[in-house]
Each structure stands twice: as structure tokens, then as C-alpha cells.
Structure 1
């Protein structure tokens, strides 16, 4: 049997995909979009998958299938080397200085929980505080509530302090500054909000808070949609979802700055988790294995490598520019429609803003019903409470989210459809 390196490169994906694909051929790279008249406007929920990703997953399952880090035969050692290369590739993609700052998890939710359980359980003392956005994705709220309950059971009572969001959907840094105290240990926020589309860099906090306060960014929506520079964010932790950046579900990435490595404990101890028993229980091992117990999602990680290559071929900056133009076109088209109200976000910005996400409601029809009617016309959008925590916006909204495979004509068609629906219900 030939090795993977000796196989012919003339796969369907490689025929369609070149190192610098043009926008005119972008859609051909995504099989789910090539034979449908439906318009996919839900990339904040999950992105479509390009052929290189699909074929990478197929290859893993169809040839030289093995585990990683556990064998000395070529199939196993080859996979181990490939996983290491993807780790290095992702570190470079986000500007991380060291590959051991990149941890592979079972998803973005698992990555947030890893921070809560690996760092929070190990370090937080009675009376210390975490500042969070109560309107963030539930996966960046519930883990902290869970941590508070676990610590209370152990006699340590921490405080979770919510902060406000601005009209443009961004974290209100003035409100954060007013709530930071000497007991604050962590500030967590969505880099790009999953419903509002507001970008939060926490730049307003630079030099104004104690540098020992850690910063955690949920980059699930920004990763693959706009450039993410870990150093510019001054992030201690950052969370990414592979399936929202052309990759496969079930693969998350957690960035942990080296300065916090000695404060972490395993959150999933087990095989390959780089820990060893000692007289007191488990002695911590080295990163990233410390947080990678168990068999990883091998095809998902390999697919992430292929997804990164596709993203870099387009240029993440070009993707952001494309999405910004579509967002502005969407808002301009929807704004005059009677009864339509935008949620916080780019619609309230003083100048052109937006990164492919905008949400709204329409008077006279529920978000769920509106989404159903839109789908009957071929427009696929997210509706409902959209993973906002319980007690948030329980009336629901319609969210439009775009990517490189969407076109201005699709936005115009969507706007016309919403306008028609609004005219029918008034």
C-alpha cells in the first residue's frame, strides 16, 4: 500500500482549490452550496465545510487510521507528527508565541469549562471575583455559575459580577472599570458577540487595571471571520470553535498563555493527560498534555489544519472586509422597513461597522414564525433566544450571519423578502 505522501494529489478538492482561490470560485469549494437554491445565512451557528476539510476527514477514516501519541509504528507516529504541525499552524494563525499554549478540546464549550475547572478550582480563594457579561453565549456564562457552585461546596465563596453592554453590542469598559476591585481575578468576554455582532477588545482597560487580572476572550465567533491577534488582545485565555471556522464539529481550541501554566490543574485527568500520581493525588505535568486527557478528536484536529489552509488562502482580513460590506448592505436595506427593530450591534454604530452578524425583530410576527416564513422562501437564518442565558432576551430575534460564500445579491434578496413579509402583516 502506498503511503499518504505518495498518493496522487488529483482529488476533487485539489482540482478546485488553489493556494489563492478567487471569490468567483469560492462557492465551488463548498459542496453543500453548489446544488441548492437556498441561501445560507447562519454561519455564526456553523460554517459550511470546504472540500479539503471533508476529504481530510474521509482520508483519516479510510487509510492509515491510528491513534496518536501511543504507538511507534509509522501510521501512529505519522499522525502524531501531523497533529503537532496543526498545533504549530494554529499558534501561528492567532499569533501565539509557543505551540504549547494551544490546547485541543472537545469543543468551545469544553474549552471554557477547562478554564473554569483547571484555573478556577485551583486558584480562586474565598471572596474573589470574576467579571462577566450576562448577555454572552450561555457557554461563557454557565461554566462560571457552575464553578461558583462547586467552590461553594468546598467552602469558598466567589462573586460573579455582571457588566453592561453598549448599544453597539460591545462590552462596556467604563462599567467594567467601575466594577473592578482588588478582589477581581478574571474578566471574561466574547470577542465578537454571537447575537449582537459587537467586537470587544477590552482596549479601554489597558494600563488602567491591575496587570494580574486575567483576561479571557471567547473567540468562537471571531475565529475565521476576522483576524485574531492574541498578543494585541493581551489574552491569558482564548477560546475557539473549529466548526465556526470551516472545521468539523467536536473540536475546540483553548489558548493558555504560558504565564498561567503553573496555575493550572487537569480538568480531564486520564490517559495521555501528562499527570502522574504522587502522595497527595496527582502532580501536574507539562502543557498542553496537562489539559488533553483521553483520545483526541483526531480527524477533527486534522481537518482544522485543512480549514486553516483554506482560510489563509482567502485571507482572514479579506473575509472580514467582505463580511463588513455585506453587513452594511444588510443594515442599510433593513433599516427603512416599518416595524423592524435592530438589537444592539453595528446598526447603532456611528460609522460603517460589522463583522457579518446582525439581529432584529419585526413587529407583528414572532422571531420563530418569521424564520419559518423566511425558510419557505429559501433564506436560512437563526431564530429564537440564540443561546442567550436563561433570563436574557426570551422573546427571541432573527440573526443573519454571513461568510465569504455569501453575495450582495443574496443580501438584497433577503431584504426584499423581509420587506414583503412586513407589508403583508401591517
Structure 2
């Protein structure tokens, strides 16, 4: 099996060069591709094509330098001392929080909580809000095909509450062929006991985008909305206020940042309904004769030592994303997705999972999954890696129940550093594999 060797060109599109939906995307000049490639050292001298940005994004030089600078110069603990190294770090973290609030569309910086990742953020919602607020008979609507981090915490919460005699119901809802949450099904399943609807903003396997806008004005405003924005943050503009989110979750490592850092958005209306998460040093509580008393957000959910290099790296990642322009990144991913769909439609034996390939209009958010007849997803991924294409295969961190097996697939996910030429070579490789196994 032979295929053209993957190249190293990476495009940074400009707003003026992006074609309309449905047109074949164009590639910026080589100097611009080289400039973007040079920002990502892991790609600069590599002959591989990285198509797994939904798992984690490559890291630009400013992020790498920020982490190195913290460890190599003036390492200290923010908020723990009055000397310049410590106070300077506290000021920097405050600035990153302010910048993050602006980046995600939060109205107030105290609505931004730094966590150990998206998984930790979703568990914080389940334990800090769920344990305090839910009573016997309450319901949570969720998508069992979402990432396990947006499924397991709710099951864990239900098991914990059962130990204290409170029985809540987890109500699953369907997805559409386009890979979006089925809002008609959600609306049909809402009852007076519904307390929370949780969903992926962009699905990690299907690549469908869900805003729940069809439910606005039709449901009780007391029902809370939780959006897992792990796949949309850093890939397209996200405004949590526009979404009407009560909670929103972001993963820094999927938006050019370092692993081990997450963002939890908590609308101010939720602040007095939360229990402390990981109470200890630096937690926004004080000990009184009656127990722990909250002293304010976001400290209430930020116990322990901050992941200082991770948060500082997040600040640098946001700067890089803003320099590219989120609208440009979103348009670039859309065009690459549409081009990928058009090419893969010609491959014999290839089936698309739900997602943009089944959408009624030209949409795409940089994620596409498929299967190939006559060969397992794992074997397709192995052959592609031998040819220099790095993709994700398997169940993609979906919950391990009987319904998850139909998600076993090859997932392709793009970002600003991918090009049309890479997609063309990828399509040709998949076509060659399909022909050899048919």
C-alpha cells in the first residue's frame, strides 16, 4: 500500500481568503503556512499530519515559553506571600481570569473558576451544585452518547444521593442524524421535576453543534443549562451569555493550553446554591461554630494550590487564539470539514457517523467520524499512522455501555495548522485502504 508522503505545510487563513460555504477552500501562500507551522514546534520539523486536535491541540511557542519561564524564573505560590514574586503571580492570575471572562463572554470575572480540567469542572457542577440542590424525584436530562465526563458525574451523583435517601432520575435524550441534541425529544421529556439539561456544545465524536436555542422561551427559566464546550472552546467563538448557560466547561489543552487546566463558568445566579469543592487551603470558606461558611466565588470552588503554570499558559493560549481570530479559525475548520466530506463520499464502503455529513446545510466544526467496511477502525488508524496521518480511533471516551459500540470509528479533527493539501492526501490514503480491503 503506497501513498504520497504527508507534507509539512500548514495554513493560517485570513478572512479575505476564506471561500463561501461549499466552495473548495484555497491555501494561503507558503510563507504564511511556514509562519504558522513555526509557531508549533511539534509540527515544525515533523513529516506527520496531525489530525487529532479534538483529543488535544498542538502547543504554540508562547505557551511553551510561558510554562518554561514560570519554572525557570521566579517560581512562587500565588496568594501565599507578600513578597514580589508571589504578589506578581497573583496579579498575573487575576489578569488571566479577566481575559478568560472576556474570551468566553462571561459578564463577571468571578464567574470564571479555574479547575484541574474539564472532567474536574463537570464533577464540580455535579457535587457542588447537585448535592446541595437536588431533592427526591428531581430529574437531569443528558445525552448518554456524550463524552464520559458529561455522563459519569451525573451517575456518580445519583449513586451518592441514593445513599442519603434521595432518588433522582437521569433521563436520556436522543441525538439527530446531524449529530446535534434532539431538542424536540428534550422538550417532550421535560417535566415539572426537570432541574438541569446538560449537553455538548460541539459533540466530540459527531461534530454536531448544539445551542438549545429552540428551547428558549419554551421552558421554565428555572431549569439550568450546562454546556460542555471542550470541543468548541478555541475552535469557534463561544459566548456563554448568548448560550444562556448556567454552567459551561472548557478544557485548556484543547485550546492550545497545557494539560491539567480547565475553566468552569458559573453564572452569578448559581453562586449562592453551591457547596465548596475540594475544601482546604485557599478555599472560599471560613470555619465557624456551625461549620463551613462560604465567603465568595470563585474561591469557593478553587481549593488548594493553583496550577499556576497551567493558568499562565492559558493566558498565553488565549492571546494566540485571539491573534488568529476565532472567526477565522471556525471558518477554516468548516471549509476543511466540508472538503473532507466531499472527498470521503467517493470512498467505497465508507459510512459516516452522525454529524455534518448528514446535515441539511453546509456546516462543520473540524470533527468528522467514519467507519470503513472490511477493516476495523483500529486497523485503519494503524495503517494511517504508518503513512504519517495521526487520527483517533475507538470509542472516543464515550460511556462504556451497550450503546457505545456503534461509536467505534475513525475520527478526524482539524485546526488552524491543517491544510487542504493534507486533507487531499488523507482522502487519497483512505481511498487506497478501501480499495485494498474491498
Normalised to the residue count of structure 1, the TM-score between the two structures is 0.94
Would you say 1:419 and 2:427 are equivalent positions?
Answer: no
> Higher relative contact order at CA 8 Å, sep ≥6: structure 1 or structure 2?
2
CA displacement, residues 176-215 of structure 1 (integer Å, 9 cap, x when unaligned) = 0000000000000000000000000000100000000000
The alignment of Structure 1 onto Structure 2 pairs a total of residues equal to: 408
Would you say 1:356 and 2:397 are equivalent positions?
Answer: no
Deviation at 1:393, TM superposition (A): 2.6
Tell me how far apart the structure 1 counterparts of residues 135 and 198 of structure 2 sit (CA, whole Å): 18
Aligned residue among 151, 154, 157 for 1:144: 154
Tell me how far apart the structure 1 counterparts of residues 79 and 420 of structure 2 sit (CA, whole Å): 47
Confirm or deny: 8 A CA contact 1:23 1:404 kept in the other structure. no
Partner of residue 384, structure 1 = 394
Deviation at 1:281, TM superposition (A): 2.1
Post-superposition, which runs of at least 4 consecutive aligned residues in structure 1 deviate over 3 A? 20-24
Would you say 1:296 and 2:301 are equivalent positions?
Answer: no
Tell me how far apart the structure 2 counterparts of residues 179 and 284 of structure 1 sit (CA, whole Å): 35
Tell me how far apart the structure 2 counterparts of residues 25 and 283 of structure 1 sit (CA, whole Å): 52
Partner of residue 313, structure 1 = 323
Partner of residue 85, structure 1 = 95
Structure 1 residue matching 2:405: 3-state secondary structure: coil
CA displacement, residues 272-305 of structure 1 (integer Å, 9 cap, x when unaligned) = 0011112332111200000000001000000000
Aligned residue among 106, 109, 114 for 1:104: 114
Aligned residue among 411, 414, 423 for 1:399: 411
Deviation at 1:27, TM superposition (A): 1.2
Structure 2 residue matching 1:394: 3-state secondary structure: helix
Give the alignment's Cα RMSD to 1 decimal: 1.2
Structure 2 residue matching 1:240: 3-state secondary structure: strand
Aligned residue among 65, 70, 75 for 2:85: 75
Deviation at 1:334, TM superposition (A): 0.2
CA displacement, residues 381-410 of structure 1 (integer Å, 9 cap, x when unaligned) = 000010010123325100000000000000
Deviation at 1:23, TM superposition (A): 5.1
Would you say 1:179 and 2:189 are equivalent positions?
Answer: yes
Tell me how far apart the structure 2 counterparts of residues 249 and 182 of structure 1 sit (CA, whole Å): 40
Partner of residue 346, structure 1 = 356
Partner of residue 180, structure 2 = 170
Deviation at 1:351, TM superposition (A): 1.8
Structure 2 residue matching 1:311: 3-state secondary structure: helix
Would you say 1:208 and 2:232 are equivalent positions?
Answer: no
Tell me how far apart the structure 1 counterparts of residues 273 and 105 of structure 2 sit (CA, whole Å): 22
5+ residue gaps, structure 2, are: 1-11, 16-30
Partner of residue 224, structure 1 = 234
Structure 2 residue matching 1:393: 3-state secondary structure: helix
Tell me how far apart the structure 2 counterparts of residues 24 and 328 of structure 1 sit (CA, whole Å): 24
